[in-house]
Structure 1
């Protein structure tokens, strides 16, 4: 009887040690996650938090960031897979995939001549894949907060469950809603004939509009910039509207203080080209190039990349305007 009791005590002690070990491991994972990807945003406001994205966007050497970005992205993905319950890691991993798709896959593909259609299309499909992967990771964060969120948004209707889920979202969810929308809309822009992506556009737009309600000034007008691009390009049946596009553009311009080149590039592409406004196109791109990256240390990368695109648009102007 004494031996049995001793065996039970030893078993319980071993189990306690095992549980303690798991608990310590999880605490360590959470500690790392809270430091590298605190939730909610903004990262810089979190105690002890590190804004990893800012560490990248503060660099103006594009080849350096292009070389290191995949390593950073995969590191976050490993951390997320090791700790899938952590909302901050899901958002950061997803947003990095969306950034990678846009900056390092789609944008270089934009510069490939149309005569190299096959090469260009292969890169666009790669970008689409990364956009959707990023959106999926961010949606995991929203699903963690609101179980069933992703499925409801994927079959969104104003009378359905998706609208009810969005009504429950809080200002802390703005970042998640923004990046999930970015991923879906980015993928759709590259392959608008994909019926699977087309089916989730209403939900993506609803997330973006809800984010704009929750935190209108988020990231100095980034929400309105994306909304303006969508409203200007989408048909009315999908929610497009020239009036909404112009209103959203003006909000983006105001909130950015006129200090983000991408807003002027948006105007040149989404408004001037369709209207064949050659003078407006020139003026918008000139304003984009007048912005000094040195005056915004935390945005050097994004400004440098945007200005590269502005110069490319200037050099390619004759492709967009008749008679130029």
Structure 2
């Protein structure tokens, strides 16, 4: 499950610049926060994925997280801030092993879940989603319209981040079917959202488990193929996940090698707005390709 989350890291900016920004924020009146969200936070988020320097990401993210936490104290129900907070904590939690601090991942994952559930809970019928029975949760999702897709998708990923870092704890794993339902609802409303991200999630979800434990390899393949189409084969995490969670699970060596080689050959300049996730996916592809003789 941890690998489901690993496909979604993104970048913020230089740490020193954000520390200066934070000092300015602390001297502003709480009522001014709403005026800062779009002109000062959103442009940062817009350019997160364009960064290729992983060390800079690891050093810079904490200041951005502190900024978001501080702004959410004064605007706890602001949807834009909750979106950015969920995305940031989800990404940074899954980046911790790459940053050399794997022990921090679980703490960050807890915050990703907190913001994710608050985001989902902005839809009144889904308030207290964690406590709702699965049947009631699924029924409530049917009343959610297309305008809420971003909340469902990112809220689901924040929740899934915590589950993925729970190391199989029953209290966490029991929530997975709810995340599945969230992603299925995203597909029903807008399957194109975030490069077919719900298809990618479900491809991994159905492909990562043995058939006897609920795995559905052919359904997994269909989701991966659809995600590749929707992402125009430019979102490289899809290629790598397809290899790792379908081709390897079904012992399809030819597909495994072909997908990974396609990922490694991809020109990053063709998708500059996806530089960081694609760089990280290429790193993963290289490692997986080196294991081919051990796997098959």
The partner residue of 1:134 within 96, 112, 126 is: 112
Could you tell me how far 1:134 is from its partner in structure 2?
Answer: 0.6
- State the partner residue of 1:288: 263
- State the partner residue of 1:75: 67
- State the partner residue of 2:54: 62
Q: Which has the larger radius of gyration?
A: 1
- State the partner residue of 2:91: 99
- State the partner residue of 1:187: 162
Match status 1:166 vs 2:157: no
Could you tell me how far 1:237 is from its partner in structure 2?
Answer: 8.4
Residues 28 and 187 from structure 1, CA distance in 2 versus in 1: closer, same or farther, beyond 3 angstroms? closer
Residues 152 and 56 from structure 1, CA distance in 2 versus in 1: closer, same or farther, beyond 3 angstroms? closer
- State the partner residue of 1:40: none
Local SS of the residue matching 1:144: coil
Could you tell me how far 1:270 is from its partner in structure 2?
Answer: 0.7
* Deviation per residue, 1:86-115 (Å, 9 max, x gap): 11111211110001112x225567xxxxxx
Q: Could you tell me which runs of 5 or more consecutive residues in structure 2 were left unpaired when the two chains were aligned.
A: 1-27
Local SS of the residue matching 1:88: helix
Query: Where in structure 2 are the equivalents of 1:307-318 lying within 5 Å?
Result: 307-318=282-293
Give the structure-1-normalised TM-score.
0.75
Tell me if the contact between 2:196 and 2:231 (Cα under 8 Å) persists in the aligned partners: yes
- State the partner residue of 2:79: 87
Give the structure-2-normalised TM-score.
0.81
* Deviation per residue, 1:35-67 (Å, 9 max, x gap): 456xxxxxxxxxxxx343332211122212221
Query: Following the alignment from structure 2 to structure 1, what is the Cα–Cα distance between the partners of residues 159 and 246?
Result: 23
Local SS of the residue matching 1:53: helix
- State the partner residue of 1:256: 231
Residues 236 and 34 from structure 1, CA distance in 2 versus in 1: closer, same or farther, beyond 3 angstroms? farther
Query: Following the alignment from structure 1 to structure 2, what is the Cα–Cα distance between the partners of residues 30 and 239?
Result: 45
Query: Where in structure 2 are the equivalents of 1:213-252 lying within 5 Å?
Result: 213-234=188-209, 240-252=215-227
Residues 192 and 62 from structure 1, CA distance in 2 versus in 1: closer, same or farther, beyond 3 angstroms? closer
Query: Following the alignment from structure 2 to structure 1, what is the Cα–Cα distance between the partners of residues 215 and 250?
Result: 16
Could you tell me how far 1:215 is from its partner in structure 2?
Answer: 1.3
Query: Following the alignment from structure 2 to structure 1, what is the Cα–Cα distance between the partners of residues 194 and 164?
Result: 22
Could you tell me how far 1:272 is from its partner in structure 2?
Answer: 1.7
Could you tell me how far 1:141 is from its partner in structure 2?
Answer: 2.3
Match status 1:52 vs 2:29: no
Query: Following the alignment from structure 2 to structure 1, what is the Cα–Cα distance between the partners of residues 141 and 211?
Result: 22
Match status 1:151 vs 2:118: no
Could you tell me how far 1:276 is from its partner in structure 2?
Answer: 2.2
Query: Following the alignment from structure 1 to structure 2, what is the Cα–Cα distance between the partners of residues 73 and 277?
Result: 41
Tell me if the contact between 2:240 and 2:259 (Cα under 8 Å) persists in the aligned partners: yes
Tell me if the contact between 2:163 and 2:172 (Cα under 8 Å) persists in the aligned partners: yes
* Deviation per residue, 1:226-262 (Å, 9 max, x gap): 1110011246687642232111111101101111211
Residues 137 and 300 from structure 1, CA distance in 2 versus in 1: closer, same or farther, beyond 3 angstroms? same
- State the partner residue of 1:13: none
Query: Following the alignment from structure 2 to structure 1, what is the Cα–Cα distance between the partners of residues 212 and 109?
Result: 23
- State the partner residue of 2:25: none
Q: Could you tell me which runs of 5 or more consecutive residues in structure 1 were left unpaired when the two chains were aligned.
A: 1-23, 38-49, 110-121
Local SS of the residue matching 1:243: helix
